[in-house]
Structure 1
Amino acid sequence: MKYEELLHPWVIVRALPNMQNRSIKRFRRRNDADECLKALRRLSPTEKFIVVFDASTKSKEQD
Structure 2
Amino acid sequence: MPQNNVTSNPEVSAYRDRLNTWAIARLLPDLEQTVVARFRSRSNAEGHLKRLKQLSPQASFVLVFDRQSETHE
Q: TM-score, normalised by structure 1?
A: 0.85
Q: Can you list the C-alpha shifts for 1:34-58, whole angstroms capped at 9, x where unaligned?
A: 0000100000001000000012333
| Greater Cα radius of gyration, structure 1 or 2 | 2
Structure 1 segments unaligned to the other structure (5+ residues)? none
CA RMSD in angstroms comes to 1.8
Q: Can you list the C-alpha shifts for 1:6-25, whole angstroms capped at 9, x where unaligned?
A: 11000000000001000000
Structure 2 segments unaligned to the other structure (5+ residues)? 1-12
Q: Does 1:25 align with 2:37?
A: yes
**Structure ranking higher on relative contact order (CA contacts 8 Å, 6+ apart):** 1
How many matched pairs? 61
Q: TM-score, normalised by structure 2?
A: 0.74
